[in-house]
């Protein structure tokens, strides 16, 4: 599990195809501190298992499923990536609960500067529409962010200078694919409502309302 607070910008040293998967090697120094082989590291929001860990970097394997869901397969030598180690019991949860399980790919539409801060616009696919809410959490490239504006096709996020400097958002170009992970709490709420509706034979209205959330104990 992660928090979506990026610790370091790493650089892809190499990426090689291995059957239907890939092995990526990343140059990094901060996230290798205390990391052992087998530990989890998020690379652009994708939870990977660290291999061949040394002071200057690590390697990780990506499966076919990971390549289909994320942008991992589009990385090249020299690509700048967001890195975060998995949380520990002592970690401050500065962002939100991030699993490192990419739900879909979004598309970077652009960024507008406002005297040092930025408004970033990202297009999202229909399959995650139900999980997005105004002022809710969304993970973009492994970064915990807040939805500042929402339409049926894209959302906007407000980015402070620190986040702009310490993540790869400033390296994105219009049209670039980005990894998106919706808030896991929204997924559990959806699942609870779906199962409840199935048990009642569809007699219960499946529309999510405040009254229904209160009845289920969420408020």
pLDDT number for residue 82: 98
Contact 18, 96 (CB under 8 A): no
pTM: 0.86
pLDDT number for residue 126: 96
pLDDT number for residue 207: 63
Total residues belonging to the chain = 219
pLDDT number for residue 101: 94
Q: What is the CATH number of the domain that holds 31?
A: 2.40.30.20
110, part of any domain: no
28, part of any domain: yes
65, part of any domain: yes
Q: Which of 85, 107, 134 is the last residue of a domain?
A: 85
Per-residue tens of pLDDT for the chain, all 219 residues? 999 999 999 999 999 999 999 999 999 999 999 999 999 999 999 999 999 999 999 999 999 999 999 999 999 999 999 999 999 887 878 889 899 999 999 999 999 999 889 999 999 999 999 999 999 999 999 999 999 999 999 999 999 999 999 999 999 999 999 999 999 988 988 888 888 888 877 665 556 666 776 676 665
Is residue 185 classed exposed, middle or buried when 0-12, 13-18 and 19+ CB atoms within 10 A define those classes? middle
67, part of any domain: yes
pLDDT number for residue 150: 97
Q: Which of 33, 59, 85 is the last residue of a domain?
A: 85
Q: Which of 85, 113, 131 is the last residue of a domain?
A: 85
208: containing domain: 185-215
18, part of any domain: yes
Helix/strand/coil for 29:
coil
115, part of any domain: no
Contact 77, 14 (CB under 8 A): yes
Beta strands in 74-132 (DSSP E): 80-85, 104-114, 117-123
180, part of any domain: no
pLDDT number for residue 200: 77
pLDDT number for residue 213: 67
Number of structural domains in the chain: 2
192, part of any domain: yes
């Amino acid at each position: 599990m992660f928090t979506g607070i990026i610790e370091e910008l790493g650089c892809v040293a190499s990426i090689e195809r291995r059957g239907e998967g890939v092995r990526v090697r990343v140059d990094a120094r901060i996230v290798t501190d205390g990391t052992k082989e087998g530990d989890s590291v998020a690379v652009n929001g994708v939870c990977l298992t660290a291999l061949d860990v040394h002071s200057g970097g690590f390697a990780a394997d990506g499966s076919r499923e990971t390549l289909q869901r994320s942008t991992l397969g589009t990385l090249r030598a020299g690509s700048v990536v967001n890195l975060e180690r998995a949380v520990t019991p002592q970690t401050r949860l500065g962002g939100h609960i991030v699993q490192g399980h990419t739900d879909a790919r979004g598309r970077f539409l652009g960024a507008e500067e406002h005297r040092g801060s930025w408004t970033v616009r990202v297009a999202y696919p229909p399959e995650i529409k139900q999980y997005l809410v105004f002022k809710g959490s969304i993970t973009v490239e492994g970064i915990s962010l807040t939805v500042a504006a929402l339409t049926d096709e894209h959302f906007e996020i407000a980015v402070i200078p620190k986040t702009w400097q310490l993540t790869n958002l400033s390296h994105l170009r219009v049209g670039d694919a980005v990894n998106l992970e919706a808030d896991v709490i929204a997924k559990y709420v959806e699942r609870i409502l779906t199962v409840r509706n199935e048990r009642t034979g569809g007699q219960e209205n499946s529309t999510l309302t405040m009254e229904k959330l209160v009845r289920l104990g969420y408020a």
